[in-house]
Amino acid sequence: MVRQSGNTPRTIRFYEEVGLIRPRGRTQGGHRLYEPRELEKLQLITDLRLAGFSLEEIRVVFGLKRATADAKRASQQMMQLLNDKLEDLKRRLAALIQLKEEFAGTMSVLQNACAECKQPPGQELCSSCAEVDHGNLPRTLRWVWHLD
Amino acid sequence: MVRQSGNTPRTIRFYEEVGLIRPRGRTQGGHRLYEPRELEKLQLITDLRLAGFSLEEIRVVFGLKRATADAKRASQQMMQLLNDKLEDLKRRLAALIQLKEEFAGTMSVLQNACAECKQPPGQELCSSCAEVDHGNLPRTLRWVWHLD
DNA sequence: TTGCTCCTCACGTCACGTGAGGTGGC
DNA sequence: TTGCTCCTCACGTCACGTGAGGTGGC
């Protein structure tokens, strides 16, 4: 289960604690035994976690059919959940891309200014460098490049 | 600060507790006062959190310049961090997209089978429906559609 | 027989959330 | 003056991580 799912033993035991999976039984020495069905369930749980589902939401997923007693509505709710998570990941990705562009864009320009710099590199010098308009740096770069 | 950054007061106080931001001072009644500079820093922290940075990694970002004392290497390390997070988000997005496709793909087929179904919808009936080969359902659907 | 892995408590961690009880500021 | 917001403890929560001390299984 550990190797096939990429989780730690502790994580698998924790999923059992909260009632998501369950071993078929135990070996005489106390080691847990699982059916292939449980491995598949664990892998689905792992993928749902990666996709941003909380354990509570995963519990909802596994209870959708029971809760609605109507496969069509259950499927629609599942799609709703998936789309919500997709929106969330897209927002995160957009934030990251913007940070990267903000940062990378001006970085190359500054690298040139530094390459031509006659002063030895140092914190005080760079933060007061006349070649660089610190006030106009994008915020990301300002906080990495600048002091405090 | 709350309105302009989209965080709760508790979150902002927490960032102060761990030393990421700091109010300029207090009003006579105890309310925190911030400089515009701190709002910008808070907004950057918020975006980095959205992008998947931990508070510890954000502390590293703000300490990069001091730690390396070399703006070029500091920038390279920042790009490394950004790319690591990008890879992480891409993996999560790929997992989600696959779940969606697995699910949506067969769902439409099943909807037809159900539309033509003569039986009233019910848990026991659907899980043993002869029209649906439960063993060949993609795992996502199998766990939502099926029982247990 | 030697290691590596699993076992069970049980406390720790990260990033806040959530009352409880009280005051501030427009 | 009425509300809404902020304040400070302080305990709770989510999803595990991390030893401590002991056994299992190839």
Task: Please indicate whether residue A121 or residue A110 has the higher confidence score (pLDDT).
Answer: A110
Residue A42 with chain B: CB contacts under 8 Å: none
Protein CB footprint (7 Å) on chain C nucleotides: 5-8, 10, 14-18, 23-25
**CB-CB: which of A44, A66, A121 is closest to B70?**
A121
Alpha-carbon gap, residue B10 to B18, rounded angstroms: 12
The pLDDT of residue B72 is 78
Q: Kindly report the average pLDDT of chain A as a whole number.
A: 88
Q: Tell me: pLDDT of A89 over 70.
A: yes
Residue B29: what are its φ and ψ, rounded to 5°?
Answer: -90, -5
Identify the DSSP state of A32: E
Condensed to tens digits (0 to 9), the pLDDT of residues B27-68 reads 999 999 999 999 999 999 999 999 999 999 999 999 987 887
Alpha-carbon gap, residue A101 to A115, rounded angstroms: 21
**Closest nt by CA–C1' to A12:** D16
The pLDDT of residue A118 is 65
Cβ contact B21:B9 at 8 Å: no
Does A75 contact B144 at a Cβ distance shorter than 8 Å?
Answer: yes
Taking each helix axis from N to C end, the angle separating B9-17 and B36-50, rounded to the nearest 10 degrees, works out to 100
Taking each helix axis from N to C end, the angle separating A55-68 and A71-115, rounded to the nearest 10 degrees, works out to 160
Q: Kindly report the average pLDDT of chain B as a whole number.
A: 88
Condensed to tens digits (0 to 9), the pLDDT of residues A51-85 reads 999 999 999 999 987 887 677 788 889 999 999 99
Cβ contact A143:B62 at 8 Å: yes
Q: Tell me: pLDDT of A50 over 80.
A: yes
The pLDDT of residue A59 is 96
Beta-bridge partner residues of A26: A32
Q: Output the pTM of the full model.
A: 0.91
